[in-house]
Chains A and B, each alone.
Chain A
Amino acid sequence: MSYFVFQLKRNPLAIIGIAILLLWIIIAIFAPVITQYTYTEMQPEKQLVAPGEANHLLGTDELGRDLFARIVYGSRSILTVALLTSLLSTILGVLFGFTAGYFGGRVDALFLRAMDILMAIPPLVLSMVVLGILGDSSIGSLTLIVSIAFIPATARVSRGVLLGEKELEYVSSARLRGENHLYIMFVEILPNTVGPIIVEATARFAYSIMMVASLGFLGVGLQPPTPDWGMMVIENKPVITEAPWAVLFPSLAIASLVIAISIFSDFISKVFTHEQ
């Protein structure tokens, strides 16, 4: 932990990244305190109000909904889905990757081919098709499908780190005292691989944000009335010439969050690689 602080002090960019990320998390948690409007409240008389006017900080959209409130509440859904996705895909990826790498041989070959097939389809296309067929995009289904689309990446990384650790003598030593496979995989090996796995998970976090926003933009993400940043961009696209802010602000929100998480991920990776 002290090393974390030591590195942070020499890395101003990381401070900015972490600050933005924390800011978004605080906004998501305290949404009702931050804005007096709700994200569904339509005020027909206040369509496309410019930012700062008539008590609307970021203006309103075509239906007269407060953009600030929609962005604030939108952070909740996107952060929830992204966080759950990175967690779930990491857990599943570690399970698959560890099993394949640990047992090797046929299990591993089967795993690698399965991953090849899954990877042949771009995650975005895969999620889009599945969600389109399902026709229902709740937070649950979105999380599950994006997680599955991300499994190949996390599984390959965890398989890789396991292969390195498996050769070390502490694993042989555990075998020689008759430990079972699960104990060796998860009690002996797993704690020594958390560094690269956490780095991978934070990278997945950033990708998830992009993915959820893209799916929203394509119309297969979270369904209205849930506010979704990607959806907000496409909703307001027709009025882009009269009210550019209605597209600009949700886009900025997406960009700032993705960049902040990417910076954080790079920093975490630096901290972990230095520790080893």
Chain B
Amino acid sequence: MNNNILEIDDLHVSFNTFEGDFTAVNGISLGIKHNESIGIIGESGCGKSTLSFAIMNYVAKNATVHGEIRFKGEDMLSMNDHQLRSIRGNRIAMVYQNPYSSLNPARTIGFQLDEVGIFHQNLSKAEAKEASLEALTMLNIADPEGVVSRYPHQVSGGIQQRICIAMAILCRPDVMILDEPTTALDVTTEAVILDSISKLRKQLNMSMMYISHDMGVINKVADTIVVMYNGEIVESGPKVELFDSPLHPYTRSLINCLPRGGVVKEKARLHTIKGYVRKRGAHETGCPFRERCEKYTPTCEERYYMREISDKRYASCDRAYATDVPSSDDKKKPIEIKEKPSDVTKPLLTLHNIHKYYPNGKKRVYAVNGVDVEIPPSSVLGIVGESGCGKSTIGHMISGLYPPTHGEMLFKDQNISIAWNKRSHDVLKEIQLIFQNPGRSLNPSHTVEQLISRPMKVLSTFTNKEQRTQEIERVLKRVDLGKEYLSKKPQQLSGGEQQRVALARALITHPSLLVCDEVTSALDVSVQASVLNLLHELQSETGSSYVFISHDLHVINYLSDYILVLYSGKVCEHGLRDDVMNNPKHPYTEALLSARGEVDPKVKRQVIDISGELPDPTKQGVGCPFASRCHKKVGPICDTEYPATVVLDGGHYYNCHIKEAVK
């Protein structure tokens, strides 16, 4: 055990709150070797971040910490502030989730970087500056000299996070702890940053602890994987073996509930985990996962402890493939999809050359710049693109939050290029919008009954109160919630339950078009899977259409019939799901596909680096908007001329000067 640089021994962290004492970290033992990269994975509320803060001996006032954390053999929990200061940021560096709030907005980037060298290594100003520039260069930041004189808000989120990482590696730390560093970033940026993190670790001989909820991300950066659930480690082992044959039912479920490896709705339902992560009381015993586990047996009431199952593989359970408890695998059968009427000719919704400009001071922000698309009845259109590409704006215009600046939207032959206040009740009823964050879209002061019954009162013809109650109960049941939820308020529900209520509220008016704006992005993977299953079931049952907006290609791939790829408010590519996913024609689609994370460690994909800057949204460019980042730029024509649309079979088209090149 002596070659472990960082050792955690039976660590407990509990918090004393108004609701009582609860445990965030419960008896964790963990060792990180020299040059090792450990990935910690688990859903939100599993104590991952608390663990990382406890390592730095940096916890909230109402926390109690027991156990030992040894850094190079010395116990960090018994160190005083002075001793800790020489380790924090110097020998153990940390990178947090949100770069914007970790950087001081009032100081230049250079000042903040230099400070690290001056404080920890007693460098002179000139030396510190040199070290800062070197660190920035290591992270492939173009023009480091220009960057140091800027303020954090003047660079993009991706660059900000790279600066935070540069700051962390400045002292050449022995251990680097990264807490969800790429979660707030776009997939393409994320892929590039993960790539440089892996390279840096080898180059600088660092040990690393990488915390994430995303299996795809962990797969890219870690050698050893630790799975946490409710404050306990439930399994650990080398990456390939762990992903290949998970030992703990939780690990197995977590891997299975991802829409990954090209799984689509026609082939399989997603695996789900029942229930949700619950705060754990300070004196609870037994397996933390037992109440959600499908392999539950009475022995789970006692603590199993971590055991070595096979070489280097530890788990606190060995029942992942147990045969005495039947798996509920029959649930995985895909639900029957009704044959769509083949003679459908009229689209349900047509967007014709729509534009949206926002005023921004004296300037204008061009959010959507001429999008044409059709949505046939009973089908799902997935809109995908990075943040700022205009996908949400399109969804909001369709649902009527604001009208398009130019262009026409036709819904069942009616012109709906108008905002909500001018739309008829029929149109409002027929098009429903579901938001990303149910905590914000459900009024916290209203009960579930009020929330769901209100649209009915306003928009539907149900005047009879009894009828309404019956209808509400029916819809609630449809989204797998019982009558007992009627009197609850949103705060009493988990994120998944809240999103189900939001879904029920949308369904109650029997809409024929549902706009889903990143509806699963705020949810944990296990909950995401059940919501996706539900969305799919409801869609094929009611024959309604969805506009499904997401940044996650796996999710889009699972649910969509058609895919629309957007960039900078313009269409890159549109087509049937399989055409776009398997035969991408636009370089941007290709880059997006290359950046998505996989859970299978055997799949190796070359990430296409499109790390350039996005075009300025306040200017209307003449050329292809993607030209500044494109890895397949044809020549000057890309900057000067917007490409003509290339139409292929089956409604598949793309806008690029490359006619054949992409294979």
Distance in angstroms between the alpha carbons of A168 and B437 in the assembled complex = 10
A177–B441 contact, CB under 8 A?
Answer: no
Q: Is B428 part of the binding interface, using a Cβ–Cβ cutoff of 8 Å?
A: yes
A192–B399 contact, CB under 8 A?
Answer: no
Q: Is A30 part of the binding interface, using a Cβ–Cβ cutoff of 8 Å?
A: no
Closest chain B residue, CB of each to CB of A2: B18
A173–B444 contact, CB under 8 A?
Answer: no
Binds A, one of B146-154, B453-461, B528-536: B453-461
Which of B432, B433, B440, B509 gathers the greatest number of chain A CB atoms within 10 Å? Answer: B440
Q: Is B357 part of the binding interface, using a Cβ–Cβ cutoff of 8 Å?
A: no
A172–B18 contact, CB under 8 A?
Answer: no
Distance in angstroms between the alpha carbons of A192 and B444 in the assembled complex = 7
Q: What is the size, in residues, of chain A's interface with B at 8 Å between Cβ atoms?
A: 16
Distance in angstroms between the alpha carbons of A173 and B439 in the assembled complex = 13
B399–A176 contact, CB under 8 A?
Answer: yes
Q: Nearest Cβ distance between residue A192 and chain B, in whole angstroms?
A: 5
B18–A192 contact, CB under 8 A?
Answer: no
B458–A169 contact, CB under 8 A?
Answer: no
B425–A173 contact, CB under 8 A?
Answer: no
Distance in angstroms between the alpha carbons of A57 and B425 in the assembled complex = 72
Chain B residues closer than 8 Å to A169, beta-carbon distance: 435, 437, 440-441
B18–A177 contact, CB under 8 A?
Answer: no
Q: Is A179 part of the binding interface, using a Cβ–Cβ cutoff of 8 Å?
A: yes
Chain A residues closer than 8 Å to B101, beta-carbon distance: none
Of B433, B442, B445, which is within 8 A of A176 by CB? Answer: B433
Chain B residues closer than 8 Å to A176, beta-carbon distance: 399-401, 420, 428, 432-433
A178–B440 contact, CB under 8 A?
Answer: no
Residues A170 and B420 in contact in the complex (CB < 8 Å), given A3-B18, A176-B400, A176-B428 = no
A192–B445 contact, CB under 8 A?
Answer: yes
Closest chain A residue, CB of each to CB of B444: A192
Q: Is B487 part of the binding interface, using a Cβ–Cβ cutoff of 8 Å?
A: no
Chain B residues closer than 8 Å to A6, beta-carbon distance: 18
Within 8 A of B (CB), among A173-190: 173-179, 188
Distance in angstroms between the alpha carbons of A191 and B509 in the assembled complex = 25
Q: What is the size, in residues, of chain B's interface with A at 8 Å between Cβ atoms?
A: 26
Which of A177, A188, A192 gathers the greatest number of chain B CB atoms within 10 Å? Answer: A177
Closest chain A residue, CB of each to CB of B399: A176
Chain B residues closer than 8 Å to A191, beta-carbon distance: 443, 445-446
A177–B458 contact, CB under 8 A?
Answer: yes
Q: Nearest Cβ distance between residue B496 and chain A, in whole angstroms?
A: 18
Which of A6, A173, A175, A192 gathers the greatest number of chain B CB atoms within 10 Å? Answer: A173
Residues A177 and B440 in contact in the complex (CB < 8 Å), given A3-B18, A6-B18, A172-B401 = no
Chain A residues closer than 8 Å to B432, beta-carbon distance: 176
Chain A residues closer than 8 Å to B458, beta-carbon distance: 177-179
Closest chain B residue, CB of each to CB of A190: B445
Of A177, A188, A192, which is within 8 A of B428 by CB? Answer: A177
Chain A residues closer than 8 Å to B443, beta-carbon distance: 170, 174, 188, 191-192
Residues A177 and B401 in contact in the complex (CB < 8 Å), given A6-B18, A169-B440, A192-B445 = no
Within 8 A of B (CB), among A143-183: 168-170, 172-179
Closest chain B residue, CB of each to CB of A7: B18
Chain A residues closer than 8 Å to B442, beta-carbon distance: 170
Q: Nearest Cβ distance between residue B417 and chain A, in whole angstroms?
A: 16
Closest chain B residue, CB of each to CB of A178: B428
Distance in angstroms between the alpha carbons of A187 and B458 in the assembled complex = 14
Distance in angstroms between the alpha carbons of A188 and B450 in the assembled complex = 11
B444–A178 contact, CB under 8 A?
Answer: no
B420–A178 contact, CB under 8 A?
Answer: yes
Of A173, A178, A179, which is within 8 A of B441 by CB? Answer: A173
**A182-221 interface bits toward B, Cβ cutoff 8 Å, 1 = contact, 0 = none:** 0000001001100000000000000000000000000000
Distance in angstroms between the alpha carbons of A3 and B491 in the assembled complex = 16
Chain A residues closer than 8 Å to B18, beta-carbon distance: 3, 6
Of A3, A170, A179, which is within 8 A of B440 by CB? Answer: A170
Which of A169, A188, A192 gathers the greatest number of chain B CB atoms within 10 Å? Answer: A169
Chain B residues closer than 8 Å to A175, beta-carbon distance: 401, 420-421
The 8 closest A-B pairs by CB, nearest first: A191-B445, A169-B441, A170-B443, A169-B435, A177-B455, A169-B440, A168-B440, A177-B458
Interface residues of A (CB under 8 A from B): 3, 6, 168-170, 172-179, 188, 191-192
- List 12 contacting pairs A-B, 8 Å CB cutoff, sorted by A: A3-B18, A168-B441, A172-B435, A173-B435, A174-B443, A175-B401, A176-B433, A177-B454, A177-B459, A178-B459, A191-B445, A191-B446
4 further A-B contacts with Cβ under 8 Å, apart from A173-B435, A176-B428, A178-B425, are A6-B18, A172-B401, A178-B459, A191-B446
